[in-house]
Copies of this chain bind each other. A is one copy, B any other.
Amino acid sequence: MTRPTIPTDSIRIFCPGTIANVSCGFDVLGVALAGVGDHMLISKSNNKGVRITKITGQDLPLDIYKNVAGVAALALLGHLHSEAGFEIEIHKKIKAGSGIGSSAASSAGAVWGINYLLGSPLSPEQLIPFAMEGERLASGVAHADNVAPALLGGFTLVRSSQPLDVVTLPSPSELYATVIHPQIEIKTADSRRILKTNIALTDGITQWGNLGALVAGLFKEDYPLIGRSLEDVIIEPIRSILIPGFDTIKKAALEAGALGCGISGSGPSVFAFSQGKQTAQKVAQAIKAAYEPFDIPFELHLSKINPQGVCLDNA
């Protein structure tokens, strides 16, 4: 990862979608997608502060105090005691409330882009806390589950939020994600509320055994091990109730050869991991065929793992 040293005055960047709560990694494990994401245009301005000049693709506020990108940008500039000015255009491809990190993409993109234009005084790791301020606006909690993979790329594990301790993990080269986004609304707050505050110790043991094995599988590029470890005995049985057709999607994905399948973030999106693009495509077709009878509009994404996080467009 080389840091640019000669900033230009305006950059166009790609801000990846992300899957948080990857199966057994509830609240700790996230991953960045290569084929799903927003674009942002960030430019230096002679007027101090931050302005959001344009948003396409979604109906979101231009008010910098009500937009996650604005809030994250201000947090960064405040930390840097910067007198610089910036204009931001946001071109949303990730729908808000999809469960694939729409707010994180904007928050991460804003701080990454501004940091770049300032000559990269901070590393991507150091940008995470400012992007988290955008998440605080979006969900009430300054969590790093999505902004960490959005900024660092690949799989990231948030070992601790307070103090922040993010561990980067390898991205097996043949791993593909198939993501279905049923166009229904699930509020993150609601999907949190239905969780139990206590869990059985035996389920906890199963969960951390799976997470430890999943991390090992990523390092070893052991796809069958990754598949066996993609099991969530605690959150999925509860949250999947909020996603019509979840069991049907999962069954179709696994039968088509997916390594594993689970809820993306707090839903309603559902992801499946596969080894190889061909299998991921088969999985996409199987999910499509299985979900059409549900009469719920949906989008399907097929994506490699994004190893780098936010980046210059066409870089």
Contact = CB atoms under 8 A, between A and B. Distances in A.
B208 A28 contact: yes
Contacts of A198: 198-201
Secondary structure dominating the interface of A: helix
B157 A213 contact: yes
A215 B212 CA distance: 6
- By size class, the interface of chain A is 35 or more
Work out how many copies of this chain go into the complex. 2
Contact of A205 (B27, B205, B214): B27
Contacts of A213: 157, 159, 165, 167
A200 to B, nearest CB: 6
A177 B250 CA distance: 44
A294 interface: no
A100 to B, nearest CB: 21
B204 A28 contact: no
Interface of A: 24-29, 157-160, 165, 167, 169, 195-202, 204-217, 219, 225, 228-229, 234
- State the 3 A-B residue pairs at the shortest beta-carbon distance, nearest first: A159-B213, A208-B208, A28-B209
